[in-house]
Amino acid sequence: MSPNRQGFPKLLHIGEILYLFLIALSFYLLFLSRTGEARTVWEVLHPAFIPTLFVTTSLLLTILLASREGAHNLLFVIVHSILIHSLFSIVFPAGDLSGQQMALGRTRLVYDNAILHGWPPWPIETIQSQIYTRFGGINFQAALSVIFARMLSIDLLWVHLFLVPVLGGVFTPIAVYLTTYTFTKNKKVAVLASLLISAFPYATYFGAISVPNSLGFIFFFYSLYFMLKNLDSNDSKTTFLMLAFSFFSLLSHNLTGIISFSLLFLSLAFKSYRGEKSPSITAKISLVTSFILCASLLPFSLIYLRLFRAGTYTAFTLEKFYELPLEEIAGLFLIGELTYGFNLETILLNVIGPALALLYMIYRLYRLKKNPTAEFRIHLFFLSAAFLMILVDYRILKLFMEKLPLNEERLWVFRDFIAAPFVALAIYAAGSSLKTFLKATSLPTISLSSLKALPKRTVLHVLSLIFTLNFAGLRALCKRNSLRILSMLFTLNILIPLVLGGWITLSLSAAYPQVAPLQTTWYELEAVKYIEENTKEKYVVIGDSWTIFAGEMIVGLNNPRAYYFGEYNKTGYDLFVNMKQEPSPQWMLLAMNYTDTTTAYFIVTEPRLGTEEYNRVVTQALQNDDIQVYGVFGEGKLYVFYYEK
Amino acid sequence: MSGLFQLSKVETLVAQDQKLIFTLASYVLILIIYINLNLPQSPILGLAASLSYFLINGIFLGRAFFEKEPAFFRLMFGVLLLIMLLGFVGWLVIIIYNLDVTRFTLVLFIVATLSSLLNKRVENKNVT
């Protein structure tokens, strides 16, 4: 080993220690950003968080690109991944105001043993509906959350908030690494891909919220990995694991399950095609037919979902083509939902990764045509077909279907997962080409170790030019042959990490919403906790949907002992509207009779109603002698009134 | 590297499971988790017991299914499979009745036993 090489690990170790310090600082800054009243994370993020994250990510990329170890660096990527998936859970007291609170509302009932046989608590009429609800994903997630909460002896709220950010943060980078490594056998590309998945906003968003769909994505990632492995293996364990992960993907969420099984059938078709010694036209046609069948599985299963789920009216339609102008249809076809009301930055951040992956995929397929005996040929074909299938399915759902039970953009997570390895490959190939080009111009070496060979004064001079962004000065320096090595170092070890680090950091702005309603506040949570802790009798709470979100997180939804109406329950909504218009015991009595309880609470919150409306409701309620004030929270922003039978 | 070496040593020791000592340790951990849940309710004790439970049974399952993978991935896969197994058995118990403290303990016990059996199966195969 040369003296330069001996010094190299030292630099790397210093970089690793610095990275650990910076990531700890990022977590600390995130904890400092924690707030009890905000709409978006962007309102309250510590001003130093994003710059620190940018430096941390760039440093991590420098370590990944400079290091020779692959799996070892994966631990750093995992910590980074947990950080960027934890913004909602750390900043907001009740996580993101979304489906994850609804999921917790249902899980809480299981945790408190308030229901038997899982969600839903009411009887289900048909066998198909029973299958759908029991396999619906919420019960599987509830099982995991409850088991973890009991194992750790901590409240379910904490386990639920961090379930997916931690599981996704740990297992998604590993899945990307393994998938990439399977068809590249390059540890550097694999570890780069495992970090680059964070540059895809939708993948980050779904990794940040604890909903069944997010869990399903994790299992899907592994099912895809085992499908790839199964392409050139006849090991029964691989086949079993491929099936097992696809099954768990289905158990977590029907969307991820359907896509997993669609790709599983496609992979089997590819495997059988590969088995042909010299593929005939018939074999090729059968492969194309398999692709069409697999691609049609999702649209048709959404149509036939009505057999399992009442009130689903998904159908094929050409309405959009009749109603929408051509440019809007073209927009929907190309960038989907991003056509509506998003800025250019968001569009670019959502599109750049998949577009880069698609271009590189086409390039690789073109190269494969010239080299029929290339290694991993079938893997590349399969992944490209899977990517294409997702693109096709998204457009079918977006343009040719209506009344879908979910938003089509969820398909982007599948697309992004397949795209990440190709983006990493493209970047690595570009870096390698640059290396080759610079080597060809008679430069001695291009590694970071070369830095040590240069006089310290020169290094400091160049670094000062880099950090002051004095590119003209740098160019002038680079013209001198002795310093051209530094221009390479700059490009490969500084510029690429900076650009990629900037991309990953910027992607957070598209991953975490810029506009949102007021998240569950600390005083809403405090109020519902106070009611729960101080009420011995069975009670019902009349409140808006925001109160229901807060309440269901603490006592569960439709809990017979502590009743909160469903988020979309009409009776609950009507009772709240009536109470708002005319605060009177009659509505509270009605609620008690309806829910078989003996105490009723009415909650109003100023930021939800608006100051004027809030003041009116509170004044009217205070004037009514039959209704008593139970508590005031948030320095007068929330009133709880009560009435007993 | 030394970290991975240590992990490999721990893994070999646990996977051999001589005289079922680690299976029994796993049962003791379940008992600790159960007692902790009913009496002190200490998150630190819960975390320590749960991590040990995950380590032992994760190693068992990793060995059973991913013998050829490197040690780190073997452990991670083992932990993932353990989570899946816990979720699956827990889900079944929820559907059948409910997941109260007693049934939760039963879930841990079933999963630990299954993991140990699968590990023993592979260990016996390797011996023969």
Tell me if chain B has a CB within 8 Å of the CB of A167. yes
Judge if A288 and A417 occupy the same domain. Answer: yes
Quick one: average pLDDT of B26-55? 94
Domain boundary among A427, A447, A474: A427
Within a domain: A194: yes
User: Is a pLDDT exceeding 60 seen at residue A481?
Assistant: no
Determine, for residues A74 and B72 on separate chains, whether the beta-carbon distance falls below 8 Å.
yes
Q: Determine, for residues A144 and B53 on separate chains, whether the beta-carbon distance falls below 8 Å.
A: no
3-state secondary structure of A153: coil
Selection from A542, A519, A536, A527 nearest residue A600 by Cα: A542
Contact A105, A210 (CB under 8 A): no
Instruction: Please give the interface size between A and B, counted as residue pairs whose CB atoms are below 8 Å apart.
Output: 98
Find chain B residues with C-beta within 8 A of A237's C-beta. Answer: 65
Q: Are residues A402 and A526 in the same domain?
A: no
Three-state SS at A640: strand
Q: pTM of the entire structure?
A: 0.90
**For position A7, what pLDDT does the model report?**
54
Query: Are A171 and B80 inside 8 Å of each other by CB?
Result: yes
- Residue A183 inside a domain? The answer is yes
pLDDT at A462: 57
Angle of CA points A182, A187, A189, to nearest 5° = 85
Q: Which residue of B has its CA nearest to A130?
A: B95
Q: Among A427, A454, A483, where does a domain finish?
A: A427
Q: Over the stretch B45-61, which tens digit does the pLDDT of each residue have?
A: 999 999 999 999 999 99
SS3 for A70?
A: coil
Q: Are residues A422 and A568 in the same domain?
A: no
What's the CA gap between A412 and A419, in Å, rounded?
10
Q: Which of B70, B86, B108 sits opposite A71 (nearest CB)?
A: B70
Q: Which of B97, B99, B101 is nearest residue A143 as measured by Cβ atoms? A: B99
Mean pLDDT of the region A496-508: 94
B2 → chain A, closest CA residue: A72
Residue of A nearest to B41 (CA): A153
What is the number of residues in chain B?
A: 128
Q: What are the residue ranges spanned by the domains of chain B? A: 19-123
- Ranking A19-23, A220-224, A469-473 by mean pLDDT, the lowest is A469-473
User: How many angstroms away from the CA of B20 is the closest CA of chain A?
Assistant: 23
Taking the Cβ of residue B5 and every Cβ of chain A, the question of whether any pair is shorter than 8 Å is answered with: no
Highest mean pLDDT among A110-119, A154-163, A622-631, B67-76: A154-163
Give the SS3 label for residue A538.
coil
| Residue A40: inside a domain | no
pLDDT bucket at A451, cuts 50 / 70 / 90: low
**Hey, is A29 helix, strand or coil?**
helix
Q: Is residue A146 part of a domain?
A: yes
Q: Which residues pair with A541 in a beta bridge?
A: A564, A601
Statement: residue B6 has pLDDT above 80: no
Summarize the confidence of residues A195-200 as an average pLDDT.
96
pLDDT reading at A349 higher than 70: yes
Both A530 and A422 in one domain: the answer is no
For B109, residues 6+ apart whose C-beta sits below 8 A from its C-beta are B27, B30
Q: Which helix (H) or strand (E) holds A157?
A: helix A156-184
For residue A443, pLDDT beyond 50: no
A residues 49-88 closer than 8 Å to B (CB): 71-72, 74
Task: Centre a 10 Å sphere on the Cβ of residue A498 and count the other Cβ atoms it contains.
Answer: 18
Where b means 16+ CB within 10 Å and e means fewer, A408-422 reads bbbbbbbbbbbbbbb
What range does the domain containing A234 cover?
A: 98-427
Chain B residues inside the 8 Å CB shell of A134:
95
- Are B95 and A117 a contacting pair at CB < 8 A? yes
Residue that the structure tokens 């490197």 belong to: B70
What share of chain A in percent tops pLDDT 90?
70
Report the residue of chain A nearest B37, measured CA to CA.
A153
What pLDDT sits at residue A476? 64
pLDDT at B68 over 80: yes
Confidence band of A471 (pLDDT split at 50, 70, 90) = low
Q: What values do phi and psi take at A452, rounded to 5?
A: -70, -25
In whole numbers, what is the pLDDT of chain A averaged over residues? 89
Q: Which residues of A touch B42 (CB under 8 A)?
A: 153
User: CB-based burial of residue A303 (10 Å sphere; 0-12 exposed, 13-18 middle, 19+ buried)?
Assistant: middle
- Chain A residues close to B36, C-beta within 8 Å: 153
> Do the beta carbons of residue A594 and residue A483 sit within 8 Å?
no
Q: Are B46 and A152 within 8 A, CB to CB?
A: yes
Q: What is the mean pLDDT of residues A475-496?
A: 65
B108 and chain A: CB distance < 8 Å anywhere?
yes
Q: Quick check: B98 and A113 CB within 8 A?
A: yes
The answer to whether residue B29 scores a pLDDT higher than 90 is: yes
Cα A349 off chain centre by = 15
CB atoms B72 and A146 under 8 Å: no
CB nearest B37 (choices: A71, A111, A150): A150
Do A150 and B94 make contact, defined as CB atoms within 8 angstroms?
Answer: no
Q: Report residue A437's pLDDT band, with 50, 70 and 90 as the boundaries.
A: confident
Backbone dihedral angles phi then psi of residue B20, each to the nearest 5 degrees: 55, 30
Q: What percent of chain A clears pLDDT 70, i.e. is strictly above it?
A: 90
What residue has token string 């599985």? Answer: A297
Q: How many domains does chain A have?
A: 2
Q: How far is B16 from chain A (nearest CA, A)?
A: 21
Q: Grade residue A135 by pLDDT with cuts at 50, 70 and 90.
A: confident
| Per-residue confidence (pLDDT) for residue B21, from 0 to 100 | 92
Local structure of A52: helix, strand or coil: helix
Cα(A39)–Cα(A592) distance, rounded to whole angstroms?
33
Q: In which order are the strands placed within the sheet that holds A562-564?
A: A562-564, A539-542, A599-605, A638-644, A628-633
A566-616 pLDDT, tens digit per residue, is 888 899 999 999 999 999 899 999 999 999 999 999 999 999 999 999 999
Query: Omega of the bond prior to A120 within 30 degrees of 0, cis?
Result: yes
CA distance A10 to B102: 53
Write the single-letter amino acid at A588.
M
Q: How far apart are CA A107 and CA A406, in angstroms?
A: 21
Task: Please state whether B94 falls in left (phi above 0), alpha (psi between -120 and 50) or beta.
Answer: alpha
Please tell me the distance from the alpha carbon of residue B23 to that of residue B60, in angstroms, as a whole number. Answer: 9
Among A30, A24, A137, which residue's Cα sits nearest to residue A88? A30
Question: Regarding beta strands A539-542 and A562-564, do their DSSP bridges make them parallel or antiparallel, or are they unpaired?
Answer: parallel
| Tokens at A158, concatenated | 């904490």
* Mutation to test the A interface, candidates B76, B106, B107, B109, most A Cβ within 10 Å: B76
pLDDT of residue A382 exceeding 90, the answer is yes
Domain end: A400, A427, A454, which one? A427
A599: part of which helix (H) or strand (E)?
A: strand A599-605
Say if CB A80 and CB A198 are below 8 A apart. yes
What was the pLDDT predicted at A121? 86
- Give ipTM to 2 decimals: 0.95
**Cα gap A138→A382, rounded to integer Å:** 32
